[in-house]
Amino acid sequence: MPRSSDSRTRMVAAAARLFRAQGYPATGWRQVAAEAEAPWGSQAHHFPGGKQQLGVEAISRSGAGFERAIRAAFAGVHPADAVRLWVRAASAELSASGWRDGCPVATVALETAHSSDVLADACAEALGSWRAALAEALTSHGMPESEAASLAALMLAAIEGALIMARAERAVTPLELVGDELAALLRARIGEHL
């Protein structure tokens, strides 16, 4: 029989996948338990703070995972090349999911920021960590911190917006266009310096 902590971990991972695909309000406890292959009573045992506790933990998990992915993608390559890789990977994943799996945090942020301070804070923390990772990648290429911070915000906002447009249009074109523009901007701002 699986250990209790395994059940908890599986529930957080399942919730993260479900929130990404269908959002927070549409995801119910029974669906999370079934997806995680966890006993029904697990939700009360592991998440005494209710669905918001599960939501915060799922967002934190998704946020940390995506931050690691950003840092890995931008390590040792020109940021323009990293953006192109990011856009290609996002396009392939979104298309393969039938336009269901966009950003692992944006869906929850769009649905709950107005109604839950706790979930809004978790989303803001995740997005902030991504922005910081992007800014650090830019400063590692010689860009001053103040410029890197604003350009990182632009990059993240552009990719997030392109993901929403791609889901709505059911086409990767918005992501490709944004990727091309960001890559050109990064080449102009940073040059070829590694």
Among residues 44, 34, 27, 41, which one has the least CA distance to residue 10?
34
pTM of the model: 0.91
| 139 pLDDT above the threshold of 90 | yes
Q: From the CB of residue 169, how many other CB atoms can be counted at a distance below 10 Å?
A: 11
In a domain, 102, yes or no: yes
Domain-embedded: residue 108: yes
* Structural domain span for residue 159: 50-190
- Determine, yes or no, domain membership for 85: yes
- Enter the tokens of residue 186: 């990064």
- Give me the pLDDT at residue 19, please: 96
What is the gyration radius of the CA atoms in the chain, in angstroms?
18
The gap from C-alpha 131 to its chain's centroid, in whole angstroms, comes to 11
What's the mean pLDDT in 41-67? 93
Q: What is the pLDDT of residue 192?
A: 64
What type of residue sits at position 125?
A: E
61 part of a folded domain: yes
Overall average pLDDT of the 48-68 stretch: 96
Q: Are 183 and 105 in contact (CB under 8 A)?
A: no
pLDDT bin (cut points 50, 70, 90) of residue 28 is: very high
The answer to whether residue 7 sits within a structural domain is no
Burial class of 171 by CB neighbour count within 10 A (0 to 12, 13 to 18, 19+): middle
Q: What is the pLDDT of residue 44?
A: 85
Alpha carbon dihedral 33, 37, 39, 45, in 10-degree steps, equals -60
Taking only the tens place, the pLDDT of each residue in 73-117 is 999 999 999 999 999 999 999 999 999 998 889 999 999 999 999
Q: How many domains does the chain have?
A: 1
Domain assignment present for 140: yes
Q: What CATH number does the domain containing 179 carry?
A: 1.10.357.10
- Whether residue 155 lies inside any domain: the answer is yes
pLDDT range class, residue 4, cuts 50, 70, 90: low
Residue 96 in domain: yes
191 compared with 137, residue with greater pLDDT: 137
Amino acid identity for residue 124 in this structure: A
pLDDT greater than 90 at residue 158: yes
Structure token digits, residue 69:
């992915």
